[in-house]
Amino acid sequence: MKSRFISIKRAKGESSSFESLAVKNIVAGSPEQKLWPLYEDAPVGQKAGIWESTAGSWKVEISGYTEFCVLTEGSVVVVDENQTEYFLEAGDSLVMQDGFRGVWKVADRVKKYYFIVNQASSNHDA
């Protein structure tokens, strides 16, 4: 029987290099992002890791998945499609549900742990 427990150790080793966002999504600045993938179970539709971004603003559209995040460094202002602004800083958590549309505004740098569940897998037997 497959274990239902997954241990994710501290991130060690190489991350991806910083990469620019798609130009069509950038609202301001020249933000670049970096990933440290820590876990992925494609058949179940789950993945987790660490994500980091430099300063800038960009459009976000969550489609087909829900993402839970915990900010570990820096801060961000998230503006939803109703123009409501949410200020989040290191230690704060957030959930972006399937269908979320908004803008992330980063003044300096931000880093987060993330856990993503694909919508198709959310009905998976627990």
In a domain, 126, yes or no: no
Q: Is residue 6 in a domain?
A: no
Number of other CB atoms surrounding residue 10 within 10 Å: 6
- Domain assignment present for residue 45? The answer is yes
Whole-structure pTM value:
0.86
The CA-CA-CA angle for residues 67, 68, 73, to 5°, reads: 120
Range of the domain at 101: 20-120
pLDDT at 20: 85
Which amino acid is residue 120, in one-letter code? A
pLDDT per residue as tens, the chain (126 positions): 778 888 877 666 566 778 888 889 999 999 999 998 889 999 999 999 999 999 999 999 999 999 999 999 999 999 999 999 999 999 999 999 999 999 999 999 999 999 999 987 655 444
Considering its fold, how many domains does the chain have in total? Answer: 1
Q: Exposed, middle or buried by CB within 10 Å (0-12, 13-18, 19+), for 112?
A: buried
What pLDDT is recorded for position 12? 61
- The continuous run of DSSP H or E covering 20 comes out as strand 19-20
Which tokens is 121 given? 């897998």
- Position 73 in a domain: yes
Is the residue at 1 inside a domain?
no
Is 116 within a domain? yes
96 found inside a domain: yes
Domain of 92: which CATH number? Answer: 2.60.120.10
